[in-house]
A and B are shown apart, each in its own frame.
Chain A
Amino acid sequence: GQNIDQPTEMTATEGAIVQINCTYQTSGFNGLFWYQQHAGEAPTFLSYNVLDGLEEKGRFSSFLSRSKGYSYLLLKELQMKDSASYLCAVRPSWNTDKLIFGTGTRLQVFP
């Protein structure tokens, strides 16, 4: 079966650091994506990991451990505009771009 787990909700304070975890059990693995989705809007691409390690992009970083079936998204210097849902998605197959999504983590940032 295919399973992707993320916490349902998290809260944090403006200026702080938050880590959103994602664990996956899929039939195959060919990359892990993080998307950001503000309420009432479409998901937008944040990051992509296919090899183990940390990918840094400004205030956002994403980490992958394939042996542990684990990823996290790290958000630094949180801003109010970071309040959104964060979706973890796995591409299980090498021969298509199809994705399996987790149910998302709703992050609320408070002043």
Chain B
Amino acid sequence: IAGITQAPTSQILAAGRRMTLRCTQDMRHNAMYWYRQDLGLGLRLIHYSNTAGTTGKGEVPDGYSVSRANTDDFPLTLASAVPSQTSVYFCASSAGTKADTQYFGPGTRLTVL
């Protein structure tokens, strides 16, 4: 693989179910990010990780959790999905040297019914 991959590509989920969105990068980037993108609201940061073993909250963290056990993977978990979490989710990464570009994965389209 090259770059950032996300899985699944799309998912329809019943409200109340638990869901984990996967993100893997092979660029050895230190920093990783999760965004949601909604019409008219643009990209909003959910959680981020500056380096393996650390995570932080973004602009809209409620209802989501993340972990960063290693450099490559940054899963996003919805513990109990709600319809307002219907969105397109993008994972991104950057080298993390505080002057770097973020590169985005292909996205996961999630529908919560």
- A interface with B by C-beta (< 8 Å): 30-31, 33, 35, 41-45, 48, 87, 89, 94-104
Contact = CB atoms under 8 A, between A and B. Distances in A.
Interface stretch (B62-70, B76-84, B100-108): B100-108
B96 interface: yes
A33 B42 contact: no
Given A87-B43, A98-B33, A45 B48 contact: no
A97 B42 contact: no
Closest 6 CB pairs of A and B: A103-B42, A42-B104, A101-B43, A97-B94, A101-B42, A43-B104
Interface of B: 31, 33, 35, 40-45, 48, 50, 58, 90, 94-96, 98-107
A45 B101 contact: yes
A45 to B, nearest CB: 5
Given A31-B99, A96-B50, A97-B102, A42 B43 contact: no
B42 A41 contact: no
B9 to A, nearest CB: 11
Given A31-B99, A48-B101, A103-B40, A97 B31 contact: yes
Given A42-B104, A96-B98, A97-B94, 11 more contacts: A30-B98, A31-B99, A33-B101, A41-B106, A41-B107, A45-B101, A45-B102, A45-B103, A48-B101, A97-B96, A101-B42
Given A87-B42, A87-B43, A42 B90 contact: yes
A43 B98 contact: no
A42 B101 contact: no
A5 to B, nearest CB: 11
A37 to B, nearest CB: 9
Given A96-B50, A97-B31, A98-B48, A43 B43 contact: yes
